[in-house]
Structure 1
Amino acid sequence: MQDRNFDDLAAKFAAKIYASQKGAVRIAVIWRDLLECCAQRGVALQAENATSSPAQPLRVLELGGGLGQFSCRLAQLGHRVVYNDISAAMAEQAQQRAAAAGCLEAIQWRIGSYQQLVEAAHADAQQFDLVLCHAMIEWLAKPSQLVAQITPLLAPNGLLSLSYYNHHGWAYRNLMRGNFNLLSRPYQSHPGSLTPQHAFSFEQIVQWLHAAQLRVHRCSGIRVFSDYTREQRGGLQSAAATLEQELNYSLLEPYKWLGRYLHVVAERDPG
């Protein structure tokens, strides 16, 4: 098994995920979490005046940056952003997005494996106030190594934003669809599909975070109900209403634990 490179599926990924309600929910939940978690630490991710830059620009690293939505948004807000992805095709789309948004030159583009970037950052003693790693860990050949490798890149007061494919969400969806045969054997993805190579429990992710001396600051569910519905009726016919309810229930027990993905914001454990 190798780290997944999306050169062959970049167009399909863009169409099926980020051109759909799925992508809108993912971006909205993660952005809400980032805004609120940074604010709780006295850091303004965006200035009150939309036309001005934040008082203290953050050093941001996005690993597995994909189509570059977060890199572009953060660069537009005046933060110092380093984008990384192993896929040249994904990076090309991200650069097109950045060029259209007028922030192409404001982003440092690092195309290649995240391991190469981490090694170079270690050598240069680089640290970041915010490290983003969204929907990437489940595509790695050795996912257990990721958190330990990137934790030294976090500044003392830095935050790690990590989203991952939720094993409980995968199991629940297959229960809803009657795919009981899939639940009776170890998790397995299908080559050539957008089904990740791995699915993780929250307990497994927390174990890796604790081993790296990080603790969970917040955990939210991503797509806690809209992925499970087959009939678009009532409020489900409204994208805005669906997004509002996804945001509402993404933080509520027990619903958040059924999200197709979970978003964890972690910080250094002072203990």
Structure 2
Amino acid sequence: MSRPRASTRTAVVWEVMRDALERRAAATGRDVLEVLDTGGGTGNFSVPLARLGHRVTVVDPSPNALFALERRAAEAGVVDLVRGVQGDTHGLFEVVARGGFDAVLCHGVLEYVDDPADGLRNVVAALRPEGGVLSLLAAGLGGAVLARALAGHFTEARQALTSDDGRWGDGDPVPRRFTAEQLTDLVTGTGLGVVSVHGVRVFADLVPGALVDTEPDAQEALARLEAAAAELPAFHSVASRLHVLAEVGPR
């Protein structure tokens, strides 16, 4: 089965999601699941999920991203399984049905919403009342601190470490970062149960691209290293991204 593009950086998330959807399909007896991708943009995950046979609705505020999504779905031959609609988490149920999805992706969204707890509650409300799967991916605090420190920007690293939002300064393009504990607290606050937490891009963002591109088998070796470290809590604190998988039972 195919992985999303930039697989070294996303392989861990992809494998966790694919396994979760397989379990969900087995539990429901339905091979085709309804998946919602909030902030799904150009379809890095939604198009590969459609290629697995699932129906995916992508909600994104950017018309340009949705246009690129349509083009990518056409190239992959899954236009009939991918639907893009313009919107955001705040007005989510103006464009999709509440309680209508087997799985919801919330990737790169909580960093940008005004109220992460409220935004996540909205996303979770899109899951079917009888059960569903949440895939949550967000920027990690520790990875940003480590990256700024290794680049010699020690004051910025300290700013990120001590600020409430995890930002290293006014020029920081990311409005908010999280620790693993903060993300799991947000998830459990919605009533979902956390299944797993993974560190994503623990090493990939720190290794020079030229090294990965030129050394034989380096990319595959890096992917194996990322997979080995992803589940270890010690590496969650230095990951560039954090992934939380959660499930909901009968409500």
Is 1:106 equivalent to 2:81 in the alignment?
yes
Contact 2:196 2:245 in 1 (8 A): yes
Name the stretch that deviates more: 197-206 or 174-183. Answer: 174-183
Given the superposition, is the C-alpha separation of residues 110 and 190 from structure 1 closer, same or farther in structure 2, using an over 3 Å criterion? farther
Q: Deviations over 1:76-105 (max 9, x none)?
A: 222121111111111111111001111123
- Choose from 149, 166, 185 the match for 2:122: 149
- Choose from 182, 185, 188 the match for 1:207: 185
Given the superposition, is the C-alpha separation of residues 35 and 213 from structure 1 closer, same or farther in structure 2, using an over 3 Å criterion? same
Residue identity in the other structure for 2:140: N
Given the superposition, is the C-alpha separation of residues 56 and 259 from structure 1 closer, same or farther in structure 2, using an over 3 Å criterion? same
- Unaligned runs of 5+ residues in structure 1 are 1-17, 46-53
Contact 1:60 1:79 in 2 (8 A): yes
Please give the alpha-carbon distance, in whole angstroms, between the structure 1 residues aligned to 2:74 and 2:180. 37
- Unaligned runs of 5+ residues in structure 2 are none
Equivalent position SS for 1:67? coil
Given the superposition, is the C-alpha separation of residues 98 and 132 from structure 1 closer, same or farther in structure 2, using an over 3 Å criterion? same
Contact 1:189 1:197 in 2 (8 A): no
Equivalent position SS for 2:167? coil
Please give the alpha-carbon distance, in whole angstroms, between the structure 2 residues aligned to 1:92 and 1:190. 33
Match of 1:248 in 2: 228
Q: TM-score, normalised by structure 1?
A: 0.77
Q: Deviations over 1:166-219 (max 9, x none)?
A: 0111112223233221134334367787x3211111222122112211121111
Given the superposition, is the C-alpha separation of residues 218 and 56 from structure 1 closer, same or farther in structure 2, using an over 3 Å criterion? same
Please give the alpha-carbon distance, in whole angstroms, between the structure 2 residues aligned to 1:233 and 1:79. 37
- Choose from 152, 155, 163 the match for 2:137: 163
Equivalent position SS for 1:254? helix
Q: CA deviation at 1:265?
A: 0.5
Q: What is the percent sequence identity of the aligned residues?
A: 28
Please give the alpha-carbon distance, in whole angstroms, between the structure 1 residues aligned to 2:95 and 2:151. 46
Match of 1:134 in 2: 107
Given the superposition, is the C-alpha separation of residues 227 and 198 from structure 1 closer, same or farther in structure 2, using an over 3 Å criterion? same
Contact 1:236 1:242 in 2 (8 A): no
Residue identity in the other structure for 1:89: N
Contact 2:147 2:206 in 1 (8 A): yes
Q: CA deviation at 1:228?
A: 2.0
Residue identity in the other structure for 2:91: Q
Q: State how many pairs are aligned.
A: 239
- Choose from 11, 21, 33 the match for 1:28: 11
Please give the alpha-carbon distance, in whole angstroms, between the structure 1 residues aligned to 2:100 and 2:246. 16
Given the superposition, is the C-alpha separation of residues 229 and 71 from structure 1 closer, same or farther in structure 2, using an over 3 Å criterion? closer
Given the superposition, is the C-alpha separation of residues 191 and 172 from structure 1 closer, same or farther in structure 2, using an over 3 Å criterion? closer
Contact 1:235 1:241 in 2 (8 A): no
- Choose from 138, 153, 171 the match for 1:179: 153
Residue identity in the other structure for 2:9: R
Q: CA deviation at 1:63?
A: 0.4
Residue identity in the other structure for 2:151: R
Aligned-residue CA RMSD (Å): 2.9
Match of 2:65 in 1: 90
Please give the alpha-carbon distance, in whole angstroms, between the structure 2 residues aligned to 1:157 and 1:89. 33
Q: CA deviation at 1:256?
A: 3.7
Contact 2:107 2:136 in 1 (8 A): yes
Please give the alpha-carbon distance, in whole angstroms, between the structure 1 residues aligned to 2:208 and 2:46. 33
Is 1:118 equivalent to 2:93 in the alignment?
yes
Equivalent position SS for 1:75? helix
Please give the alpha-carbon distance, in whole angstroms, between the structure 2 residues aligned to 1:178 and 1:150. 38
Match of 2:167 in 1: 188
Match of 1:268 in 2: 248
